């Protein structure tokens, strides 16, 4: 196993996000039913709020486009709305348990 030089931002979906997303899906999800998303961040960060402030717009765009590409259907992109839609947990330890190399794909 190897420690990776990244921290993480774990995004969990609140019911408000799921209620919005459910209108585009055949399956109706409730809070706690979808696996969280993990965003890798700088390994050493001092303040969680500053990390989120710098990334919330990009995260919202990624999460919204995974539901619908029609930007007119997206909720407002703001920090207040982000906090309504997602719960975040940050951490600074990422351990890779797989031997093969990490692959990257631009999104």
Digit-coded pLDDT (tens) for 65-92? 999 999 999 999 999 999 999 999 999 9
Q: DSSP letter string over 27-89?
A: SPP-TTSSPPEEEEEES--S-HHHHHHHHHHHHHHHHHHTT-S-GGGSPP-SHHHHHHHEEEE
Helix (H, G, I), strand (E, B) or coil at 18: helix
Please report the pLDDT score of residue 43 as a whole number.
Answer: 84
Pairwise CA distance, residues 56 & 4, whole Å: 23
What pLDDT shows up at residue 76? Answer: 97
In what order do the strands lie in the sheet containing 6-13?
37-42, 6-13, 86-91
What local confidence, expressed as pLDDT, does residue 17 receive?
96
Give the per-residue pLDDT at 46. 76
pLDDT tens-place values along the chain, 107 residues long: 999 999 999 999 999 999 999 999 888 888 888 899 999 998 877 788 899 999 999 999 999 999 999 999 999 999 999 999 999 999 999 999 998 888 888 88
């Amino acid at each position: 196993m190897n420690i990776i030089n990244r921290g993480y931002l774990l995004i969990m979906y609140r019911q408000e996000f799921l209620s919005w997303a459910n209108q585009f899906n055949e399956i109706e999800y409730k809070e706690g039913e979808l696996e969280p998303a993990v965003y890798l961040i700088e390994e050493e960060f001092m303040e969680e709020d500053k990390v989120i402030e710098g990334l919330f717009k990009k995260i919202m765009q990624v999460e919204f486009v995974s539901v619908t590409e029609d930007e007119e259907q997206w909720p407002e992109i703001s920090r207040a709305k982000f906090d309504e839609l997602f719960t975040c947990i940050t951490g600074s330890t990422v351990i890779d348990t797989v031997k093969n190399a990490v692959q990257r794909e631009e999104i």
